Chains A and B, each alone.
Chain A
Amino acid sequence: MALLEIKDLHATVGDREILKGIDLTVEAGEVHAIMGPNGSGKSTLAQVLAGRELYAVTGGQVTYDGKDLLAMSPEDRAREGIFLAFQYPVEIPGVSNMYFLKAALNTIRKHRNLPELDAMDFLDRIRQKMTAMNMDQALLNRPVNAGFSGGEKKRNEIFQMAVLEPRLAILDETDSGLDIDALKLVAAGVNAMRSAERAMIVVTHYQRLLSEIVPDYVHVLADGRIVRSGGKELALELEAGGYAALGIQDEAEAVGKA
């Protein structure tokens, strides 16, 4: 049984249909890249899988580990092992990073019938993971993402992923806003998490992240549908010819934005 099975998924925001019939099967241990121009629905797909209420699912099914994913609350999805690394991590002044992450880890552990960790055990557990992500321990005592640089926010997302140990990680444009050194650091963090039990969906506009996190499969999303699927060589093909080579209009490039 596949870890994730998406069948004919449709989703709208307001009156606008964004996802127009997505089919995708992800097995444990696989890394799938979803590429596509801006506005193609990549981020919507990521958010719908995580349970964002802003989007209304108007058709199709999503089965995760044999369960109806769409019937689950966002927190239950997280407890069942889904993790979304946000494209724009939210700043939450007044909630310390440490308190937040400990609360998250303990609810997930409780769900997995593991004992909750006290502050000391928690710190022991995360210290090495912080070092790996080159995160200053002072960041733990600061409010969640508040005043973090773009790179710090993205590193914080991957650090959270490392702490929460999901079964399905969805990385939404994790490369955006990163310089090449930060990108390599983040990618190393992600690669360290690859395992036979864990699947990843890497959403990105650019090929450069996929040189660091090499996917097993690449899917090209355009106008709410997957228009091409292939192996990692598809990403290189896109790198060489752009979306235009696949006959896809890239809105961002058309208006001259990165």
Chain B
Amino acid sequence: MTAAAEQIGQWLFEFTRQEPAEPWLQHLRERAFARFSELGFPTTRDEEWRFTNVAPIARTSFRYCSAGMLVLKPPEVAELPEEEYKRHLGQHAAFDRSAFTALNTAFASSSVALKVPRGVFEKPVDITYEASSGAARGSNPAAPAIHPRTLIIVAPGAQCTIVETYKGEGHYFTNAVTEIVAGDGAVIDHYKVERESPEAFHIATMQVALGRSANFTTHNISLGGALVRNDIGVTLSEGAEATVNGLYLVNGTQHVDNHTVIDHAKPHGTSHELYKGILDGHSSAVFNGRIIVRKDAQKTDSKQTNKNLVLSDDAVIDTKPELQIFADDVRCTHGATIGQLDAESLFYLQSRGIGKAQARSLLTQAFAQDIIDRIKIPELRNQLEKVLSEKFHERSNY
């Protein structure tokens, strides 16, 4: 057997151990597993994975585990009716071109499937997935793999906040897929907070479909994990508005790869994208932002920015915009920066008595401040400020 076949064989063993689902779901899972077997894990020869080597995931034997789940929500937000679940599951995050999405779909069971009805909801839909390390010490010594699957259908005109948090302890693999469908005129404020363990692998796909004049804001926050990849896709209907922001804070040997695709399918759409990263130690990060403006999507207004603050000589960032514009009456701008702490700003702070270490820490936090200021959940803002001050703090007397 080849190495690739052997890797897939292990997943097949885990796949067949699952309890069979009802026929329509079992059929979907089987198709997904078949597709995963055909695709195999991507390698750095695949353009989409050039800077992210998933060999450490491919060569590890994982054991399928259900994720620990905690869902807090407004009472009006109910389980998705079966008919809608059937209609939407796997329809937005397609598995034909993504081995990880296929693998998730093959194991999709630890699902959160919700329907947000029309109305304005202050209290967020708050979903936490946790990989339990305790389960790893059972009879099977293999590290656990969890495949969290989230599907949220937001009714036309509804306004809600959605928070997804991923965490865990020890060595494990989180392979998450989230699908969000926003009805016409829906307003969604979405946060994904990745604070996995330092040894964890985290691969996540989110696919969002926006109805006419829907307004979707997402903040994708990457804090933990050894190897992290986010694939975020947002498709805009006529007059829809998407704000796609991200913040990655990495040190040590962490690797975080963010691939985003903003697809302006219809006219009069607006998208703003701001991704910021702070890199220290030997960490590495990738930003790949694709903006597609389809032939029909006249009057599109799109802006993409990626800014990186590199604190050490050994950190590496690869940033790449990809504009695919097929309409002629559009405005699209993009820009990327990679910089270090500004020497003049450092001196200014020091000249007022602030120690060099504190000055560096202040400026590092300041770099991320505009993203943090846009976060509307106070607990999350505080948590991020704490991570920022601790993660990049240098020791000094004062």
Q: Residues on A close to B: CB < 8 A? A: 50-54, 73-75, 77-79, 83-84, 86, 89-90, 92-95, 100-101, 103-105, 107-108, 110-111, 143-144, 160, 164
B203 to chain A, nearest CB (A): 31
A92–B362 CA distance with the chains assembled, in angstroms:
10
Q: Which residues of B contact A164 (CB under 8 A)?
A: 352-353
Q: Which residues of B contact A54 (CB under 8 A)?
A: 343, 347
Q: Which residues of B contact A84 (CB under 8 A)?
A: 351
B358 to chain A, nearest CB (A): 7
Do A93 and B348 touch (CB < 8 A)? no
Do B358 and A93 touch (CB < 8 A)? no
A110–B398 CA distance with the chains assembled, in angstroms:
9
B178 to chain A, nearest CB (A): 30
Closest 9 CB pairs of A and B: A94-B366, A94-B369, A78-B353, A104-B352, A74-B350, A90-B348, A108-B353, A107-B353, A75-B350
Q: Which residues of A contact B367 (CB under 8 A)?
A: 94
Chain A CB count within 10 A is highest, among B342, B351, B398, for: B351
A90–B363 CA distance with the chains assembled, in angstroms:
12
Do A94 and B370 touch (CB < 8 A)? yes
Interface size class on chain B is 20 to 34
Tell whether B302 is near chain A: CB-to-CB under 8 Å: no
Whether A75 touches B348, Cβ cut-off 8 Å, given contacts A93-B369, A94-B366, A95-B366, is: no
Contact of B358 among A83, A101, A103, A111 (CB under 8 A): A103
Do A78 and B348 touch (CB < 8 A)? no
Tell whether B365 is near chain A: CB-to-CB under 8 Å: yes
A79–B353 CA distance with the chains assembled, in angstroms:
5
Q: Which residues of A contact B348 (CB under 8 A)?
A: 86, 89-90, 92, 144
Do B366 and A52 touch (CB < 8 A)? no
Do A95 and B351 touch (CB < 8 A)? no
A104–B358 CA distance with the chains assembled, in angstroms:
10
Q: Which of B331-363 contact A (CB under 8 A)?
A: 342-345, 347-356, 358-359, 362-363
A-facing mask of B8-31, CB < 8 A → 1, else 0?
000000000000000000000000
Chain A CB count within 10 A is highest, among B343, B345, B352, B363, for: B352
Do B351 and A107 touch (CB < 8 A)? no
Q: Which residues of A contact B353 (CB under 8 A)?
A: 75, 78-79, 104-105, 107-108, 111, 164
Q: Which residues of B contact A94 (CB under 8 A)?
A: 363, 365-370
Q: Residues on B close to A: CB < 8 A? A: 342-345, 347-356, 358-359, 362-363, 365-370, 398
Write the chain A residue with the least CB distance to B365. A94
Chain B CB count within 10 A is highest, among A52, A74, A93, for: A74
Do B356 and A75 touch (CB < 8 A)? yes
Do B354 and A104 touch (CB < 8 A)? yes
Q: Which residues of A contact B366 (CB under 8 A)?
A: 92-95, 143
A165–B152 CA distance with the chains assembled, in angstroms:
58
Do A92 and B355 touch (CB < 8 A)? no
Q: Which residues of A contact B347 (CB under 8 A)?
A: 50-54, 74, 90
A201 to chain B, nearest CB (A): 14
Do A78 and B350 touch (CB < 8 A)? yes
Contact of B355 among A50, A75, A93, A105 (CB under 8 A): A75
Write the chain B residue with the least CB distance to A81. B353
Q: Which residues of B contact A77 (CB under 8 A)?
A: 351
B308 to chain A, nearest CB (A): 15
Q: Which residues of A contact B349 (CB under 8 A)?
A: 92, 100, 104
Q: List 28 A-B contacts (CB under 8 A).
A: A51-B347, A73-B350, A74-B347, A74-B350, A74-B351, A75-B351, A90-B344, A90-B345, A92-B345, A94-B367, A94-B368, A95-B362, A95-B363, A95-B365, A95-B369, A100-B349, A100-B352, A101-B352, A103-B354, A104-B352, A104-B354, A107-B354, A107-B358, A110-B398, A111-B353, A143-B366, A160-B352, A164-B352
